[in-house]
Amino acid sequence: MKTKDINIEYEGKPAIVKIKRMGWAEKNLMMDNYFGAKIMPNNVIHVEPHMFKMKVDALRKCVIEAPFKLDDGNLNEQDPEMLDKIYKEIESLNNLGKDSSEAKKKLQGLSGEEKKVSQSK
């Protein structure tokens, strides 16, 4: 399991948050939970990523060690900039940005195929 230490400031003191790279199945199941698609008029697929929910789940799945708990109450009390820094490192380590873009493109690509199918009928 690949891990990475992130230097942060917590309660005015230096601290370390240890994150991990998710396994293939774990990452794909998480991605599947946070991308929805709706078929709109004219068979156009509208992709709806639920990025904010995914960020919280990614923090909970990837943070191995931290000087704070990862429940909603404690996350709400933390410095948002610190949490964003941790998430960016998680996103980079797990290629979440790249995979999110690819998932969105694939889903949007389906709308073109469906249009062709419906027009050929």
For the chain, the structural domain boundaries read: 3-120
Q: In this model, does residue 33 exceed pLDDT 90?
A: no
DSSP code string of 31-55:
HHHTEEEEEEGGGEEEEEE-HHHHH
pLDDT in tens, 13-22: 999 999 999 9
DSSP letter for 79, please. -
The pLDDT value recorded for residue 77 is 95
CA 35 to chain centre: 10
Q: How far apart are CA 13 and CA 71, in angstroms?
A: 22
What are the pLDDT digits (tens) for 67-119?
Answer: 999 999 999 999 999 999 999 999 999 998 765 566 556 555 654 544 443 34
CB 51 within 8 Å of CB 34: yes
